[in-house]
Structure 1
Amino acid sequence: MAEEAQVIACHTVQEWNEKFQKAKDSGKLIVIDFTASWCGPCRVITPYVSELAKKFPHVAFFKVDVDDLKDVAEEYKVEAMPSFVILKEGQEVERIVGARKDELLHKIAVHAPITA
């Protein structure tokens, strides 16, 4: 269960495919944080995304470095970082471009409200 309260970082396509499929099969809302090590705003929002993962343990959070996983970034047509793609039942329902904390929180809360 510890994995559920953290951001899952994937560094290889195989790792991405396995962990992403597991999350899709679970039926959870999925938030993909497309980032880059050289991206200043990405570094600023990373701790906030970790906080959200703890606040929304019923949501699967992924961190994808666009330089490590170019194919995944291309598949989701990511053109700027940070970009957040939110998937519900495997389909994209939201996309946020930029380190926009309030919008990210709002979009996650809309699709995966905290019921406790």
Structure 2
Amino acid sequence: MKTLPKMDQNALLTEIADKKVILFFTADWCPDCRFIKPAMPAIEEKYSQFEFITVDRDENIDLCAELDVYGIPSFIAFENGQELGRFVNKDRKTQAEVESFIDGL
């Protein structure tokens, strides 16, 4: 999974303007992020139509604020720079919950 470098919302939207992506907001210190991380390769494989990009919350704290991401782990899906949907809260997420979110896009 690619890691997003530090950037603001305008740079992000330019970066993903012609892509179908799911941003995975996480942090190394987050126990709920560590809980879902082992499932991510299987989720990426199942939903290969999306490019999955890790966003380090601490590295991109301003971007998180711009996107109203105040809890992690969280996910936001975009297609051609437009938000398709979000699974954003501070709760622990299971593989089934993440897959259900993606299926509902």
TM-score band by shorter chain is 0.7 to 0.9
The Cα offsets for residues 46-69 of structure 1, whole Å up to 9 and x where unpaired, read as 121222112222101111111011
Map 1:28-67; keep pairs closer than 5 Å: 28=20, 30-67=21-58
2: distance between equivalents of 1:50 and 1:73? 23
- Partner-residue secondary structure (3-state), 1:92: strand
Query: 1:24: Cα distance to partner?
Result: 2.9
Structure 1 stretches of at least 4 aligned residues deviating more than 6 Å after TM superposition = none
Sequence identity (%): 28
What amino acid does structure 2 have at the position aligned with 1:25? D
Contact preservation (8 Å) 1:8, 1:63: yes
- Within the candidate set 47, 69, 80, 2:60 is matched to 69
2: distance between equivalents of 1:47 and 1:71? 27
Q: CA, structure 1 residues 74+107, in 2 after alignment: closer, same or farther (shift >3 Å)? A: same
Query: 1:34: Cα distance to partner?
Result: 0.8
- 1:24 aligned onto 2:10: no
2: distance between equivalents of 1:73 and 1:110? 23
2: distance between equivalents of 1:36 and 1:79? 12
What amino acid does structure 1 have at the position aligned with 2:17? K
RMSD over aligned CA atoms reads 2.2
Aligned length: 100
Instruction: Give the TM-score, by structure 2 length.
Output: 0.78
Instruction: Give the TM-score, by structure 1 length.
Output: 0.71
Higher helix share: 1
